[in-house]
Amino acid sequence: MSKHKPISRTRWQASQGKTLARWKKMSPNVDRELQEQTILPILLRCAEQYDKEEGSLLEIGCGPICISQHLPLKHKVYLDPLIDDFRRQFPGMLPEGEFLATTAERIKKPAESFDLIICLNTISFSLNPELIMHEMERLLKDDGTLIIDMRTHSPLEARLHYLAEQLFPIFCTKTRPYYYSLRGIRSTLSRHFKIREEINQSKARFWLPFFKREQRLFICGRHEKTDLTSTA
């Protein structure tokens, strides 16, 4: 699916509850080590082009890991609707910085506030992905970089999941309300950003042909503004 009909707030709240329950069963150190090995080198490469003292970043769906804490940019904002729960659950583990305990569909920050926006494994768990895309587009500076990471599904699995969420939501209990095919997320991103680089992070494994899943990371920038002025 390239453009999803949003789920209900009740369904989203149930998904958030399952996410919080998952974190109660595991230490953040497990996912932190994996992100430091696989994603952090890419984040560092993208961050090095911005001034360390003046540069600013926003991490959407930071969870209790807050991987952006390892980046050199001075001004950091961490956003997660469960951030207060993570503070209570993991005291002393969250880094210093500005925290927003809210959803990403409407972020109270001025337009073009951030050089770097990081959104890791979050879009599929959100309330309304399309609104988040609009917000990230609004908040990213002209020369800024968006890094978005997510799991993609085969077109068949994505379609079946979408129909189940729309027709039989009472039976949908998985934490991910949204499944994207690779074509679908490319289409969604391309409406708002220019995809500069795409990285397949999946390890070699066997998947049924019609249920192939991959972990994809996209590095994006703003679309170039069209110059409407004409020369005489």
Bridge partners of 216, per DSSP, are 150, 200
At 208 the pLDDT is 65
Contacts (Cβ under 8 Å, ≥6 apart) of 30:
none
Q: Find all residues with CB under 8 Å of 129, minimum gap 6, and list them.
A: 4, 6, 123, 178, 188
Per-residue pLDDT of the chain (232 residues; tens, 9 = 90+): 456 678 889 999 999 999 999 888 888 887 888 899 999 999 999 999 999 999 999 999 999 999 999 999 999 999 999 999 999 999 988 998 999 999 999 999 999 999 999 999 999 999 999 999 999 999 999 999 999 999 999 999 999 988 988 888 777 777 789 999 999 999 999 999 999 999 998 865 656 667 788 999 999 999 987 544 443 3
Domain boundaries, the chain: 9-200+210-221
Architecture of domain 9-200+210-221: 3-Layer(aba) Sandwich (3.40)
Residues 6+ apart with CB under 8 A from 195: 186, 189, 218, 219, 220
Contact by Cβ (8 Å): 134, 146? no
